[in-house]
């Protein structure tokens, strides 16, 4: 389980940052995957993290078709849709609709720690199975205002679910969950070669089961995420992009099924990450990437049979490397590589008051990524390529082929004239 926590922290590091470049009105999550999950390139996808970027992507429609497999029977994993309209005088208003399989970590994410069994819904359902339904269909509204070369943005998101049993006579039971999220950000050009990007998010998921009689069982969580980046345009071809990210999450669960309500802490998480990347662009060719590091810690509260356990990881280096170039006026090619090493410290209870500590090296060889972009006027389709299709070569034409989809993940965008 603790390995899942650390992998979750690594994914947060790779996808929860904002970026700076030339504000090209195209892109999406598939583009980022195609160039090595690269946090050092500009893309409208990062409006989901910092709403101030909406000031630079006005009259823009974008979203993901996702990957093939879906729990819903139709539609791919990670699908969402978003739009951002310019209303005049520098003011833009946008909206985004996401599901609970949203790719990323922002107020568009619902009960985000449910992926590692530490969400509010799962915490209540572990005590009373099936009491609360998982949340879905998260609606986010975001507004931005641009003045000169600076933009400011605010966002708010909300989702809820209800599971009620109403008998003919007497009181019934109610299971409910909700999440309120806020984010704010600024993208400010302090000089002709220096820009600062600051974004902050607050997520407040909660879940409650109200029995016909007795005490409620409920869980709540507070999640805070802050990203700060500086962008230094060293020359017309080279830009340096240092970054820092911080995330913390904590919460409590109250068990109302006992004679007296008992409270316990949910697993708490802390992530501190930093990176130093670069963008090197010559004509239509872009090389971007750099090293980063992160420290991730998870604290499990003490119980009657176990002391408090703190597990941590130091992840270094984290490599995100990618290239992108125009193959034709309508076609873009992409290649990337992602890798990370980690030193992981895990504690296990030896007794009620003592722990055993294990230290090991773990590797995250996420490997190579390949992507393409198809540009048809103001419409763009970005895709990551299934590597098995490339390995089969000419066998795709006349042989049995790999039996796999050509594209692993798809994003769409449209820049309104």
Query: What average pLDDT is seen over the chain?
Result: 86
* Predicted pLDDT of residue 3: 44
Instruction: Look at residues 302, 296, 304, 319 and name the one whose alpha carbon lies nearest to residue 2.
Output: 296
pLDDT > 90: percent of the chain: 60
* Predicted pLDDT of residue 171: 76
According to DSSP, residue 124 is labeled: H
* Predicted pLDDT of residue 157: 98
Specify the higher pLDDT residue, 262 or 203. Answer: 203
DSSP 38-107: -TTS--GGGGGT-GGGGGTS-SEEEEEEEBS--TTSSS-BT-EEEEEEEEETTEEEEEEEE-TT-SSSST
Q: 64, 96 in Cβ contact below 8 A? A: no
Which region, left, alpha or beta, applies to residue 34 given φ > 0 means left and ψ of -120 to 50 means alpha? alpha
**357: which residues sit within 8 A by CB, 6+ positions away?**
345, 346, 347
Q: Is the pLDDT reported for residue 216 higher than 60?
A: yes
pLDDT > 70: percent of the chain: 88
* Predicted pLDDT of residue 385: 86
Q: Is the pLDDT reported for residue 86 higher than 90?
A: yes
pLDDT class of 354 with cuts at 50, 70, 90: confident
pLDDT class of 2 with cuts at 50, 70, 90: very low
Q: Comparing 154-163, 189-198, 252-261, 345-354, which segment has the lowest mean pLDDT?
A: 345-354
pLDDT class of 400 with cuts at 50, 70, 90: low
Number of domains the chain is built from: 1
Specify the higher pLDDT residue, 96 or 20. Answer: 96
Q: Is the pLDDT reported for residue 245 higher than 70?
A: yes
* Predicted pLDDT of residue 9: 46
Q: Is the pLDDT reported for residue 124 higher than 90?
A: yes
Specify the higher pLDDT residue, 115 or 75. Answer: 115
For residue 273, the surrounding DSSP H or E stretch is strand 268-282
Instruction: Look at residues 89, 26, 63, 20 and name the one whose alpha carbon lies nearest to residue 415.
Output: 26
* Predicted pLDDT of residue 388: 64
Average pLDDT over residues 175-200: 93
* Predicted pLDDT of residue 398: 56
* Predicted pLDDT of residue 16: 38
Rounded Cα–Cα distance for residues 298 and 267 (Å): 7
Average pLDDT over residues 307-313: 89
Q: pLDDT digits over 14-73, tens only?
A: 433 333 344 678 888 899 989 998 888 888 888 999 999 999 999 999 999 888 664 444
Average pLDDT over residues 330-356: 89
* Predicted pLDDT of residue 302: 77
* Predicted pLDDT of residue 73: 45
Q: Is the pLDDT reported for residue 386 higher than 60?
A: yes
Rounded Cα–Cα distance for residues 196 and 200 (Å): 13
Instruction: Look at residues 127, 129, 142, 134 and name the one whose alpha carbon lies nearest to residue 110.
Output: 134
Task: Work out the burial of residue 241: count CB atoms within 10 Å of its CB; fewer than 13 is exposed, 13-18 middle, 19 or more buried.
Answer: buried
Rounded Cα–Cα distance for residues 158 and 124 (Å): 20
Containing domain of residue 106, as a range?
A: 2-415
Average pLDDT over residues 3-23: 44
Q: What CATH number should be reported for the domain holding residue 109?
A: 2.40.160
Q: Comparing 82-86, 132-136, 362-366, which segment has the lowest mean pLDDT?
A: 362-366
Q: Is the pLDDT reported for residue 169 higher than 80?
A: no
Residue 291 bridge partners (DSSP) = 319
pTM: 0.88
* Predicted pLDDT of residue 5: 46
pLDDT class of 149 with cuts at 50, 70, 90: confident
């Amino acid at each position: 389980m603790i390995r899942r926590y650390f992998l979750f922290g690594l994914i947060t590091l790779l996808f929860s940052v904002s970026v700076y470049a030339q504000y090209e009105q195209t892109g999406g999550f598939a583009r980022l995957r195609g160039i090595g999950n690269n946090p050092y390139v500009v893309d409208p996808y990062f409006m989901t993290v910092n709403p101030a970027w909406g000031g630079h992507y006005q009259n823009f429609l974008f979203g993901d078709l996702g990957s093939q497999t879906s729990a819903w029977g139709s539609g791919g994993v990670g699908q969402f849709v978003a739009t951002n309209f310019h209303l005049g005088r520098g003011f833009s208003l946008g909206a985004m609709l996401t599901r609970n399989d949203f790719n990323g970590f922002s107020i568009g994410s619902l009960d985000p720690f449910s992926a590692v069994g530490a969400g509010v819904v799962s915490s209540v359902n572990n005590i009373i199975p099936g009491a609360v339904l998982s949340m879905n269909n998260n609606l986010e509204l975001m507004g931005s205002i641009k003045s000169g070369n600076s933009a400011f943005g605010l966002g708010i998101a909300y989702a809820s679910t209800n599971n009620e049993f109403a008998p003919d006579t007497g009181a019934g039971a109610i299971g409910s969950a909700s999440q309120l999220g806020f984010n704010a950000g600024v993208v400010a050009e302090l000089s002709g070669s220096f820009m600062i990007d600051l974004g902050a998010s607050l997520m407040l998921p909660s879940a409650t089961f109200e029995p016909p009689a007795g005490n409620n069982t409920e869980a709540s969580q507070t999640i805070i995420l802050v990203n700060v980046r500086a962008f230094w345009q060293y020359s017309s071809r080279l830009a340096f992009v240092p970054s820092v990210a911080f995330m913390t999450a904590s919460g409590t669960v109250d068990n109302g099924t006992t004679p007296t309500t008992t409270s316990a802490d949910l697993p708490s998480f802390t992530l501190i990450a930093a990176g130093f990347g670069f963008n090197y662009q010559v004509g239509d060719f872009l090389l971007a990437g750099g090293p980063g590091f992160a420290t991730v810690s998870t604290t499990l509260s003490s119980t009657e049979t176990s002391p408090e356990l703190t597990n941590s990881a130091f992840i270094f280096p984290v490599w995100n490397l990618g290239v992108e170039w125009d193959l034709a006026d309508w076609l873009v090619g992409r290649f990337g590589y992602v890798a990370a090493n980690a030193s992981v410290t895990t504690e296990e209870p030896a007794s009620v008051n003592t722990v055993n500590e294990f230290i090991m090296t773990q590797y995250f060889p996420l490997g190579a990524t390949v992507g393409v972009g198809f540009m048809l006027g103001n419409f763009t389709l970005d895709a990551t390529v299934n590597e098995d299709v490339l390995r089969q070569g000419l066998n795709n034409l006349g042989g049995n082929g790999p039996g796999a989809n050509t594209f692993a993940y798809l994003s769409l965008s449209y820049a309104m004239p």
